[in-house]
Chains A and B, each alone.
Chain A
Amino acid sequence: MGLEAYLKDTGFITTQVNAIIAWARKNSVWPMPMGISCCAIEMMAVGDPKYDIARFGSEVMRFTPRQCDLMIVAGTVTYKMAPVVRKIYDQMPDPKWVIAMGACTSSGGMYRSYSVVQGIDQFLPVDIYLAGCPPRPDNLIHALMKIQEKIGKTKASQFPNLASDVKSITLPDLNVIQNN
């Protein structure tokens, strides 16, 4: 192919470690398909040849959280399901990102009810809120491109070894149910 053929003998490229890591990272985002309800159907459509998420290097939907960088929370999260979602998120290796796919995960959506968490940002750090009920597959691809944009701007120094650093981090306790 063009560039490789041209550079194959003596050629070399200079770059920054940050840049090449971010470039590699953003083009191989492996999603964890946290398909809980109907949004998961649109998420499956994203993998098919018509929309083809493989064009963005994200076709490997891993069903074990230990191999994933991106959690797509697709569907209504109830209070009973929330600890499960959180547990799976905790099992994913750092660095990791989260897409809140659809109205239910972003805000509770049409389920303004005692049993549904009114937005998964109450217990997960969310990077992208994706509108729609459910969002069209194009929209999910757009969210993925936004995540790639975000990953592209990261630096390796932003991801210290969290295991040794975890005690110094205190996050606010947002365990609050909104009153009606």
Chain B
Amino acid sequence: MDFKELITQKLKEKFPSVEFELTEYRDELTIKFDKKFIVEVCSFLKASLDLEFSWCSDVTAVDWANRKNRFTVVYNIFSMKHNFRLRLKADVDESDCNIDSVSSVWQAANWQERETYDMYGIKFNNHPDLRRMYMPEEFEYHPLRKDFPLMGIPGSLPLPKK
């Protein structure tokens, strides 16, 4: 059986109530589902002996600006055993701008989620240390949001006096 089919089958068996939206493009599999199942699905993908997605290579987000669910959080995970990359997606709306943290599943997600929080302002529930990654701690904005101007907000980043 194709490994992609195996993943799909396993997920559908394990989570019959979850709706998985599968996309395949250029031989890459993307699975999109509701954000409240993120931790369960991720733990399963990691723990399942047939799949073993042991490495979370990246967590990031997309800002769709005018769309109803404004953000999409994207997880790129990798199975060392099968040399296979999988992309997980979950929509997050601006009014309820949070998603559960997967740093309990993959330690590596800790800083990647901090970066996503810094750049998009998406809160990660149950994150052990949700501080800004790049911008100064007192900075109030999230630079990769579409409504943030390219040159920043005048006066928001203080400079030393000349």
A interface list, Cβ under 8 A from B? 79-80, 82-83, 86-87, 112-115, 117, 122-125, 171-180
Contact = CB atoms under 8 A, between A and B. Distances in A.
Interface residues of B, number: 19
Contacts of B134: 80, 115
B161 A173 contact: yes
Contact of B150 (A113, A117, A172): A113
5 contacts: A80-B135, A114-B157, A123-B159, A123-B161, A123-B162
Nearest to B161: A173
Contacts, number: 64
Nearest to B157: A79
A176 B161 CA distance: 11
Contacts of A178: 151
A125 B162 contact: yes
Q: Which 8 A-B pairs have the closest CB atoms?
A: A114-B152, A86-B160, A180-B151, A79-B157, A177-B154, A123-B159, A175-B159, A123-B160
Contacts of B154: 176-177, 179
Interface string B128-162: 00000011100000010000111111111111111
Contacts of A171: 161-162
A41 to B, nearest CB: 24
Interface string B58-94: 0000000000000000000000000000000000000
Contacts of A179: 151, 154
A154 B134 CA distance: 42
Given A80-B136, A114-B143, A115-B143, A175 B149 contact: no
Given A80-B136, A114-B148, A115-B143, A177 B160 contact: no
A162 B54 CA distance: 61
A117 B143 contact: no
A174 B148 CA distance: 23
Nearest to B148: A114
Interface in B112-136: 134-136
